[in-house]
Amino acid sequence: MFKEFKEFAMKGNVVDMAVGIIIGAAFGAIVKSLVSDIIMPPIGLILGDVDFSGLFVVLRDGAQAGPYLSLEMAQKAGAVTWNYGAFINTVVSFLIVAFSVFMLVKGMNQLRRKQEAAPPTTKECPYCLSTIPVKASKCAFCTATLD
């Protein structure tokens, strides 16, 4: 059983998938930092010094009654909160990741199209079926005149 597992784990697709997951996790951490540390602070500043990660609504007070000045204070008191600011950050992160993946796939598709769209450099002689250059006006093998 160990031998079968080793063969399965060492297949190219499994290793490629593992590398993709590891890079994806690292990319997710970079995007999270990009959103919370780079993108959201200027947006919050433009909207009136708002820190999105700290936006919340108290649904039920905790052991210690509110008002709570921060999300951390509300959570420490055991309050039930609706953390819509964290959700906004998560949505922005998702949009950045989705856009990045879209741009990557779009770029790969364009490369594929360029490879597929390359004009042929050879053609087949209709008389002897030999492969000859596209610009040839006479077949080098059967000496037939071509159109």
pTM (predicted TM-score): 0.55
Looking at the structure, do residues 74 and 32 belong to the same domain, yes or no?
Answer: yes
Residue range 31-41, pLDDT digits in tens:
888 877 888 78
Q: What is the pLDDT of residue 31?
A: 82
d(CA 59, CA 40): 25
Q: List the domain range (segments joined by +) for residue 79.
A: 2-116
DSSP 52: G
Is the pLDDT score of 147 beyond 80? no
Q: Can you give the C-alpha Rg of the chain in angstroms?
A: 30
Looking at the structure, do residues 142 and 101 belong to the same domain, yes or no?
Answer: no
Looking at the structure, do residues 21 and 61 belong to the same domain, yes or no?
Answer: yes
- The helix (run of H) or strand (run of E) holding residue 112 is helix 84-116
Residue range 41-62, pLDDT digits in tens:
888 788 776 677 788 999 988 8
Residue range 73-85, pLDDT digits in tens:
998 999 999 999 8
What are the Cα distances from residue 15, in Å, to 7, 32, 103, 108? 11, 26, 25, 21
